[in-house]
Amino acid sequence: MQLNYTVGSSPAPQNDFQPLAAGTYPGQIVEWAEHTSKSGNQCLKLQVRLENGRVLWDYLVMQAADASNPKSATAIEIAKQRLDSIGSALGLQVIAQADDLIAKPLAVNVGVRPPANGYDASNEIKGYAAASMPSQGQPAAAASAPPAPQPVSPAASSTPWS
């Protein structure tokens, strides 16, 4: 493939690597993949795109390489809880395959992981809920109930049979 592209001809990208504020954002799972972690755990890797354009990843440990490790059992339990919250958020009683999760709106609970081990602060997915908030990451407005119906007192002369 020939590109014939002049480097520097495009405006500089505005990469904002600051983490989002902790909160709940509308989004959807856009891609999944099977993934093997550095420790050998089999994971379901979910790519989550928020409506504000930010992309986050969630790694769910489905099978541990070392079943005797208590951390592995905890990781698998967390994965099950996450799948429960995703399934509930999407109205699913059974998740037959990972494709069942793709391109369906949900609310994503985002947290901030503090800087550690030479890495800057970053976002992490804390959980999922049903999508019930306005789009574009705006805070949910207070729900206002529709006005109560007012009783109507018909005038004596306004009846059609009079």
Alpha helices per DSSP H over the chain:
70-90
pLDDT score at 116: 95
Query: Which domain CATH number covers 91?
Result: 2.40.50
The model's pTM is: 0.71
pLDDT score at 136: 44
Beta strand 105-113 with 122-130 is: antiparallel
Query: Where in the sequence is the domain holding 31, given as residue range(s)?
Result: 23-130
Total number of domains in the chain? 1
Is the Cβ–Cβ distance between 64 and 74 less than 8 Å? no
Quickly tell me which residue has 């099950």 as its tokens. Answer: 80
| 5-45 tens-digit pLDDT | 777 776 666 666 789 999 999 999 999 999 999 989 999 99
Tell whether the model's pLDDT for residue 90 goes beyond 70: yes
Residue 49: inside a domain: yes
Residue 105, CA distances (Å) to 31, 44, 78, 152, 153 in order: 13, 19, 22, 42, 46
